Chains A and B, each alone.
Chain A
């Protein structure tokens, strides 16, 4: 129960500022993409609107295949990730194994996409760990077989890499949703009526959970269809996915290729929109079938086999990331390492001594960008939540869509436009511009991470403090934020991890001149120096993971004498 204050000061303006900071670049970028796609780019003297860039794009021989790849890998990765998550949750929710998996999620989630993709490449490549472990005794391979596993033309490796990274994300969202739908009681009722565990879950819990995770699923679909860094590392080359090709055109010294890139970006946007619409249609069909299935009243059986399969699927997906990181670590300290030896002849620090000094500059740049973007996102997020608390300026359900918008519109659809706009206005790309670019993607995650704990804070503390004479600012700074130290730091860690993992915004807004651990790591993909890749992949992972360790440790340290908070 709250009385809202009369809006005064800076806080009431923060929600509008937040929307501007988050959606302004998206809108500007979309405009900046649309204009050159229609042939208008004053920077190179084109002012006459024309559809020629689209004709040019269509005449590129790889066009059909690139579109098909984006569509198929995106849909397959999303469907597979969702299937793994649903199977695991349906068969294992409420068990000890499930809780053990929960603890793995946050670290898995924060591993940057590029590092995970490299790790998986190291596992499944013809000369990777899996081939080494079964050679030569099972395969007869004395040297790496000449087959295309990584970067296969069908994008299977790309799908695998995406699934391994999206399963933890969807699982975390699912667990958050489970808390809101009273899953336990529904399960107890359904199982009392004789339903098998997974049937009970699918029929009583899943429909409500899906309603909660629908937007995250859409984010996964939009992301998987248009991702660039993972596709550069694991995806096919000739042709690559449409988004990778767009980025190649954006990097072409011939500025006229920007027109084709912009046309491609518009097509990519349309493709994602069409896929989202198709997914929505499929939801309706599945729901119709599901209602029929529920009415039939089947109790389900064969639980054992399904549970084993679910555990295996979840386990493989987690193991792919973890073992991949182990592979990066092994290569980073490997001496001579012949095929098919499972381990190198010796371990050495020589690689680190050679590449270590070069890490310094990109690591510093990464830290500066991540810290600044996260600080801006945190201030805006806390400002919005506080405005909601004080003045009732609450995000409606439409507001939630706005929060997800920068995540639903493919990066490759508006970042090229932003770069072209900056080019047109002579804005120098640099660290500052990249920071603002990162805020667009960091903000939604920080908001989603902090929103629930901030709103769950018992506002009677504020009422009591007001009755003692404390004003709203004093309540915020001396009560609410200190008591919410753990979730605030967690949100900061999430923000830093998101920023560290950004590839495309850094590349395009930075105009190729801002070098972070991620851009440097992805740039190594073409060269194939595994020792360097191992080092950069690990450094990138450490940059994303360390803040989580800090976020766990600091509240325990600060509140070590306060029993009610030390373990929150």
Chain B
């Protein structure tokens, strides 16, 4: 069994069951391969966000969780959030308002990239990758919604996560921007070979992600 897991790639929700006060909220058993997108849909209160918090390690202790979560064969249960290497994008970009755009990216950039110049260059490169050359010294508050979304995406990717979680990440954008940002996120994730877990109540998100959809009922 252990040997099998060593070769296992992607995000595995292994007979995951989340309950509160004896009521089962979520029951999932799924594997998301690198580059694949698994969409979880459901109305608010259906436990979508709770499912994400179980994966990120920030679930409220009121919930009881059974089963396991693995990334590339690594068991996440019991690990603190910062040790999970699971990237996260919320519907708000949550760029740190007291840091410049460049510092936000540097905050995310993996510690393995050493040296001031090398880190700076990596940040610039990331900005250029999403058409934001020269934005490093900008105040995040001065960016448009679409620009913020791109910075938030690159901040996650620079941390070199093993999986990507999206919590209704496009719902604050206006429709035509939403489309472009969505495509960018999925393209980047696929390019990095990341398994993606997308939580949304927007059918268009789900369609764009294509592939597989799990529906949660309201409870």
Contact = CB atoms under 8 A, between A and B. Distances in A.
Given A392-B61, A468-B108, A469-B111, A1 B86 contact: no
B34 interface: no
B94 A562 contact: no
A479 to B, nearest CB: 6
Interface string A476-502: 001100110100000000000000000
Contact of B139 (A467, A468, A562): A562
B94 A466 contact: no
Contacts of A483: 96-98
Contacts of A469: 82-83, 85, 110-111, 159
Contact of B107 (A471, A478, A562, A564): A478
A467 B161 contact: yes
B200 interface: no
Contact of B141 (A467, A471, A479, A562): A562
Nearest to B142: A563
Given A1-B59, A483-B98, A565-B98, A465 B86 contact: no
B25 to A, nearest CB: 13
Contacts of A237: none
B111 A1 contact: no
A479 B94 CA distance: 12
Nearest to A559: B98
B58 interface: yes
Nearest to B84: A467
Interface string A111-137: 000000000000000000000000000
Contacts of A466: 56-58, 80-82
A565 B97 CA distance: 7
Q: Which of A3, A5, A483 lies at the interface centre, i.e. has the most chain B CB atoms within 10 A of its CB? A: A3
B56 A471 contact: no
B57 A561 contact: no
Contacts of B84: 467
Contacts of A319: none
A351 interface: no
Contact of B82 (A2, A470, A478, A564): A470
B98 A482 contact: yes
B159 A468 contact: yes
A463 interface: yes
A401 interface: no
Contacts of A3: 53, 57-61, 81
Contacts of A392: 61
B186 interface: no
Interface residues of A, number: 30
B144 to A, nearest CB: 14
Q: Chain B interface residue count: which class? A: 35 or more
A2 B107 contact: no
Contacts of B90: 460, 464
Contacts of A336: none
Contacts of A5: 80
Nearest to A464: B94
A555 to B, nearest CB: 10
B140 interface: yes
B47 interface: no
B75 to A, nearest CB: 16
A563 B139 contact: yes
A337 interface: no
A561 to B, nearest CB: 6
Contacts of A146: none
Contacts of A98: none
Contact of B87 (A2, A458, A467): A467
A1 B53 contact: yes
B198 interface: no
B96 A479 contact: yes
B155 interface: yes
Interface in A441-487: 458, 460-461, 463-472, 478-479, 482-483, 485
A460 B94 contact: yes
Interface string B58-86: 11110000000000000000001111111
Q: Which of A463, A464, A467, A561 lies at the interface centre, i.e. has the most chain B CB atoms within 10 A of its CB? A: A467
Interface in B87-107: 87-88, 90, 92, 94, 96-98, 107
Contacts of A293: none
Interface in B136-170: 139-142, 155-156, 159, 161, 165
B96 A2 contact: no
Contact of A460 (B60, B61, B92): B92
A460 B88 CA distance: 10
B98 A2 contact: no
B96 A461 contact: yes
Interface in A249-298: none
B147 to A, nearest CB: 14
A468 B94 contact: no
Contacts of A461: 94, 96
A467 B81 contact: yes
16 contacts: A1-B59, A1-B60, A2-B58, A3-B59, A3-B61, A458-B94, A463-B88, A465-B96, A466-B80, A466-B82, A467-B84, A468-B82, A483-B96, A561-B139, A563-B139, A564-B97
Given A467-B87, A470-B82, A562-B139, 13 more contacts: A1-B49, A1-B58, A3-B61, A4-B61, A461-B96, A467-B84, A467-B159, A468-B82, A468-B87, A470-B107, A472-B82, A483-B97, A565-B97
By Cβ-Cβ distance, the 5 closest A-B pairs, closest first, are A466-B81, A564-B97, A563-B141, A467-B88, A468-B159
Interface of A: 1-5, 392, 458, 460-461, 463-472, 478-479, 482-483, 485, 559, 561-565
